[in-house]
Amino acid sequence: MHHDGALSAVAAAVLEGGHAAQVELLDRLRAGDRTAFAELVDAWSPMLLRVARLHVSTHASAEEVVQETWLAVIRQLDRFEGRSSLRTWVFRILENQARTRGVREARTVPWSFGSGADGHEHAGATVDRARFRGPEDRWPGGWTPEGRPTAWEPPPEDAAMAAEVRRELRAALDELPERQRTVVELRDVYGLSSDETCERLGLSPGNQRILLHRGRARLRARLEHVYRGTTGEGARRG
Amino acid sequence: MADLPAPRSADDDVLEIACREFVELVTEHMEGTLPKALESAIAAHLELCDPCVVYLEQTRRTAAALGTLPSPTLPAAARDRVLEMFTSLHGGTDPAAPR
């Protein structure tokens, strides 16, 4: 009967409004399918907390906003018309909850994502120009022998590297300009789509890509630095 | 030299990109937002340029590794409260449960 049940609740909840699998998920939730609901709560609470922190000043407040959001979702579930994806609807509820509380806390947003480019965050190359050949070279703009990237061994996902990679990425993320860090976190750490990220942050798609590009480039460079520093030691450490 | 792109010729009207340009297009390439002509130029470049293939791969691995960072979630007590509320409003067998 429920052949679409093969689709997880989380997968169904990001589908466009009106999709058959979304309708089925809503039926299950309205019938009290606690497992499906818990799946959403567990999958989304980290990203909801992160988005809530854009609006309120403390982690504790963000936790309350997220809890209130889930309670509002539960209360309003029967009224959701399914015109958007379930996830988009949950985000809107979150933002209403967060905005209310943000106003109460008189939090002033330290930057405006809508304000467009701000100079240094957007300017310049993301890779040191010295790593490329000059205009007079036979291969202008090509990597120099010393500048070319070399494969990472063992790869970052290897158990021998994973802990150090995570530590370095966390540190490097915290050093990014706030707009870059926020975009990289929403996209790569929390798995929001580019559309969702633009909507949450009030960014144009182009600006979002620039911030993502510059942020990721710095993080890649940080990992490259780690690998260059441990050349020849990786195998022994593993 | 097989891993380097061909030298640029001024008369060539086929779009070519250099490594220095590729590294600034890598995100749009991954996002799939580039015009077709640029995508073709990138495909041609990557055919010949191993270091840029490595660069692309490293950017992908960096993004993937970010997805493994631990993130705070709701405290267990708050999660329990939410699930209890869910069951009390939507659980049970009464199809006309109050909302």
Distance in Å, alpha carbon of A200 to nearest chain B alpha carbon: 18
More confident residue, A101 or B32: B32
CB within 8 Å of chain A, chain B residues 18-77: 18-21, 23-24, 26-28, 31, 33, 49, 51-52, 54-55, 57-59, 61-75
Q: What is the CATH number of the domain that holds A36?
A: 1.10.1740.10
* CB nearest to A224's CB, from B7, B58, B86: B58
A160, A231: one domain: yes
What is the total count of domains within chain A? Answer: 2
Choosing from A60, A83, A104, the residue where a domain stops is A104
Please say if the pLDDT value at position B8 is more than 80. no
Q: What is the pLDDT of residue B95?
A: 47
The residue ranges of every structural domain in chain B are 1-67
A174, A85: one domain: no
d(CA B26, CA B22): 6
What's the average model confidence in pLDDT over B3-14? 52
Helix %, strand %, coil % of chain A (to 5): 65, 0, 35
A143, A222: one domain: yes
Residues in chain A, pLDDT under 70: 1-6, 105-123, 230-238
A77, A144: one domain: no
Q: Which residues of A touch B65 (CB under 8 A)?
A: 156-157, 162, 165-166, 169, 223
Is residue B79 less than 8 Å (CB to CB) from chain A? yes
Residues A83-132 have pLDDT tens digits of 899 999 999 999 999 988 877 765 545 555 545 445 555 568 999 999 99
Its domain, for residue A65, covers 3-104
Q: What is the pLDDT of residue A107?
A: 52
Question: Residues with Cβ < 8 Å from A180, sequence gap 6 or more?
Answer: A121, A211, A212, A214, A215, A218
Q: What is the pLDDT of residue A2?
A: 46
d(CA A13, CA A19): 10
Asked whether the whole model's pTM tops 0.80, one would answer yes
* CB nearest to B18's CB, from A49, A142, A217: A142
